[in-house]
Amino acid sequence: MNKKGVLIVISGFSGVGKGTVVKKLIEKYQYSLSVSATTRAPRPGEVDGKDYYFKSVDEFRSLIDYNGFIEWAQYVENYYGTPRKFVEDEISKGHNVILEIEVQGAMRIKEQYPDAVLIFLTAPDARSLKSRLEGRGTEEAKVIAKRLKRAYEETEDMPFYDYLVVNDDLETCVEHVNAVIIAESFKTSNNKEYIEKTKNELLEIRKEITL
Ligand code: ADP
Ligand code: 5GP
């Protein structure tokens, strides 16, 4: 079946488990993952070109000037952007592409790609979100506080998402996100070529019928 690639946006509060869920999802189901550019410093273990393209502010600005991003946003103290070329190439190949981005970027994507599916990940409750973020141990207390404040603001945009998925048990969450992606890929709007092909095939058969 000749399906159109689905653009899947995954957002959620800092520390909710986006990175963890997306990593498992990709390992299990081999979706294409867009690697973003950022001006944030790498965390221990993060690899340039795999986790992010780590850029200076000047490099990031020139990418903006060259129309290199399909969306970009400032989040807390850094810039983040989705490189245009990878996403456009993958979609044109009919692949499903995952963007793990924050809410302002997600809204920009929705404007440009109305068929994109927007999934918002949440934790079972706000206290467990806080302890996940603290437990990750990658940000100092001041940055954690800013990210939690930002999480409160991000609730304003939650109603604009198509789906809300709770990341309580990790494996269950991965399956729920995948269920959304599969359902989206079966939408008639993502299968227009198949409809056209079936119509042409039936036209051929109709010509053969001599009643
Ligand atoms: P995000 O990418 O949303 O900022 P991470 O994927 O880095 O979040 O996860 C934040 C922390 O929460 C990590 O220490 C991760 O191991 C942990 N975590 C992720 N998913 C779960 C889950 N379902 N239950 C408990 N802890 C989780
Ligand atoms: P972190 O610093 O924790 O990796 O990411 C901070 C926030 O930036 C997260 O909400 C993450 O989803 C978001 N983010 C990562 N890449 C992009 C991107 O390309 N564009 C936008 N708008 N947000 C991004």
Which atom of ligand 2 lies at the shortest distance from residue 52's CA? 16
Identity of residue 35:
V
Q: How many CB atoms lie within 10 A of CB 10?
A: 26
pTM: 0.95
Taking CB atoms within 8 Å and a gap of at least 24, the contacts of 114-117 are: 115/4, 115/6, 115/7, 115/189, 115/190, 116/6, 116/7, 116/8, 116/9, 117/6, 117/7, 117/8, 117/9, 117/162, 117/163, 117/180, 117/181, 117/184
Which atom of ligand 2 lies at the shortest distance from residue 69's CA? 19
Q: How far apart are CA 36 and CA 50, in angstroms?
A: 9
pLDDT at site 2: 54
Distance from the alpha carbon of residue 118 to the mean position of ligand 1, in angstroms = 20
CA angle 114, 150, 122 (to 5 degrees): 65
For a pocket test of ligand 1, which of 46, 132, 165 has the largest count of ligand atoms closer than 8 A to its C-beta? 132
Low-confidence ranges of the chain (pLDDT < 70): 1-2
Contact assessment for residue 61 and residue 110, using Cβ atoms and an 8 Å cutoff: no
pLDDT tens figures, 84-136 = 999 999 998 989 999 999 999 999 999 999 999 999 999 999 999 999 999 99
For a pocket test of ligand 2, which of 50, 84, 100 has the largest count of ligand atoms closer than 8 A to its C-beta? 100
pLDDT at site 4: 77
pLDDT at site 210: 85
pLDDT at site 124: 97
Burial of 84 (0-12, 13-18, 19+ CB in 10 A): middle
pLDDT at site 57: 98
Distance from the alpha carbon of residue 71 to the mean position of ligand 1, in angstroms = 25
Q: How far apart are CA 177 and CA 23, in angstroms?
A: 12
